[in-house]
Structure 1
Amino acid sequence: MLLCILGSILLGYTDTDLNMLINAYTNFDGSMEQLIIKTTRVPRALIATFIGASLGIAGVLMQSITKNPMASPSLLGVNSGASFFLVIAISFFPKISFNFLVYVAFVGAFIATAIVYTLAGGLKGDVHTINLTLAGAAITFLFSSFTQGVLAQDQKTLEETLFWLSGSIEGRSIEILIMVIPYLVVGWIASILISKKLNILALGEETAVGLGQNTRSLKLIAAVSIVILAGASVSVAGPITLIGLITPHLAKTIVGSDYRWIVPYSGVLGAVFLIISDIGARFVIYPKEVPVGVMTALIGAPFFIYIARKAENK
């Protein structure tokens, strides 16, 4: 992960090296290369690290509570809710600042998830996996349709949001990351704290209850953590797909079935996945760039097909 972060800082359209990176923080001379490192490359690498790690951990939690190896954070309507609220905000308030849009997208993710959780029986305290999956799919399609309807009527909003809707960390400032770091840290800590209980839940719902596990509260904590991690990530970088789906499987291949290891490893692998995708996005149509969400889909699609075929064979 550290090597990937270093590569993200040094690789790109402008040639830079390790000495320039060191001098940018020890002997800043105002040169273009050092300026790019401090204002663009380093923030971009850090954003990719935090967002990738958060999406990876959110994916683990999602697959754990749904017992669905094909599940990802978007199943709770996080992506569609955040996208719809952001598009609405830009369409009706075109002068709104990007910093405020981060919170708007965050709120949209929470509202969409709250609706999904309610429809799945959350108010009754009895959330079944199939109900959660169906409710998530329905709300995702609903909000996605609303978003497309607004964009079809507002060409200007489409132009302003298209890059964000494709998933991108280009041009994001470190201040935006700082805004959401407290939420991400809370999500990370909560995920680590419940990782041991996820091992018990993996034995089965009835077994977990028989061992004294409060599965309802565990699922609720996991769901809130997913929304915090995925919602904050989407609000900064847009709906980046497949990271939360793939990294848990890679982590399990490396460390086995113990969620105390799967959770942190998924975070590290998620960060690596997004950083590598971001580096690739800079060179695939060099000297132009593509949204990193396109690259994650391109790199992750073969893994997705493999996982789907593996699940089908089981």
Structure 2
Amino acid sequence: MTNPFRIAAWGTAAAMLLIAMVLSVSLGSTIFSVSMIVDSIFHFDGSRDHIILRNVRFPRTIVTVLAGANLAVAGALMQAITRNVLASPGIFGINSGAAAVAVLLMVIYPQVTSSNLVFAAFVGGACAALIVYAMATAFKQTHMAVHLALTGVAIQAMLSAFTQTIIMFNEIQLDRILFWLAGSVSSRKWEHAAVLLKWSIPALLVAFTLGRSASVLSLGDSLAKGLGQRLALARGLMALIVIVLAGVTVSVTGPIGFVGLIVPHIARQLTGLDYRSVLPLSALCGALLLLLADLLSRYIVFPYETPVGIVTALIGTPFFIYLARRRKKEAKI
């Protein structure tokens, strides 16, 4: 892959992301012009339109961008750690684990703040990851990648059933929790954007510095050891970053699936196998994908909104089936 192609890929992704951000702020039940958006930033006059832009559209767009970047980078790191093209926070049950504990806390303590909900999501995501890995390693090593994915799907189903059971016994917040569980960036406020910014920016920066280690790990344990890579330390640090990125995203938006599965494949096709490029490009493409999915979700049943998690599931489910079938065929060769 030539350098001009990589430069073109980066430039195109960045330009499309900027356009998608403007469209995200502009489009909806009320459509705003670019001049109106600029005026709301530099010449705020307290009008209804300016208040909607500042307090509704801007935080929603920021939340969507950070959520997409977080999930995509988390998925790329997971695929490097496990050398498994089927890996992602959603498929491996991390999102469901984070959501289950977060919902439990919301039911027990309805006044819980977004800042505190993050820690519940961290605990749930970490526990789910440990359970999936422990159960998957109990199988024989044949088709290990598929076993990990199928175990993750099974654990995800179990945790989802647990979450639904919790909701059945507490219907006071039923509508709010069910919409959140479907994965939504609607009605996100500045406090949600602040939580994401607080955790996401440091975690993403650390993730980008792990690009070389991720590239070495993706080559296999034997070669990684030969190159001086400390496997346990590298995997542990990457796993921690994955849990932080996925956990904070779930605490704000609910469990949005398949972004972390799809985007790393796109990034590798555009920039090659070097994770020093794959990780930042995944962040760009993940933000772009979720912005486009959110824009589509606003018009599926207009004027009502569809949770963005449903849109990503419609896109991602066929992609997951395709990858699983291809992986199984490759294992037979």
TM-score (norm 2): 0.84
The 10-residue stretch of structure 1 (237-246 or 143-152) with the greater mean CA deviation from structure 2? 143-152
Contact conserved, 1:15 with 1:33, CA < 8 A, in 2?
Answer: no
The 10-residue stretch of structure 1 (38-47 or 144-153) with the greater mean CA deviation from structure 2? 144-153
Classify the secondary structure of the residue corresponding to 1:25. Answer: helix
Classify the secondary structure of the residue corresponding to 1:239. Answer: coil
C-alpha displacement of 1:114: 5.1
Counterpart position of 2:166: 150
The 10-residue stretch of structure 1 (289-298 or 134-143) with the greater mean CA deviation from structure 2? 134-143
Counterpart position of 1:70: 86
Amino acid at match of 2:53: I
Note the 1:164-313 alignment, pairs <5 A: 164-313=180-329
Distance in 1 of aligned mates of 2:232 and 2:152: 18
Whether 2:58 is the aligned partner of 1:32: answer no
Deviations 1:52-107 (A, max 9, x none): 00100000011111111111113553212222122222322234445543443344
Query: CA-atom RMSD, angstroms?
Result: 2.4
Distance 1:182 1:37, change over 3 A: same
Out of 79, 87, 90, which is 2:103 matched to? 87
Deviations 1:214-258 (A, max 9, x none): 111111111111001111111110000000000000011111111
Note the 1:7-26 alignment, pairs <5 A: 7-26=23-42
Amino acid at match of 2:52: I
Amino acid at match of 2:188: R
Count of matched residue pairs = 308
Whether 2:67 is the aligned partner of 1:51: answer yes
Distance in 2 of aligned mates of 1:290 and 1:15: 18
Contact conserved, 2:63 with 2:196, CA < 8 A, in 1?
Answer: no
List runs of 5+ in structure 2 lacking aligned partners: 1-16, 138-143
Classify the secondary structure of the residue corresponding to 1:73. Answer: coil
Deviations 1:157-183 (A, max 9, x none): 433300000000111112222123232
Distance in 2 of aligned mates of 1:71 and 1:276: 23
Distance in 1 of aligned mates of 2:275 and 2:25: 32
Note the 1:80-159 alignment, pairs <5 A: 80-113=96-129, 136=152, 139-159=155-175
Distance in 1 of aligned mates of 2:147 and 2:206: 24
Distance in 1 of aligned mates of 2:197 and 2:113: 19
List runs of 5+ in structure 1 lacking aligned partners: 122-127
Distance in 2 of aligned mates of 1:139 and 1:207: 32
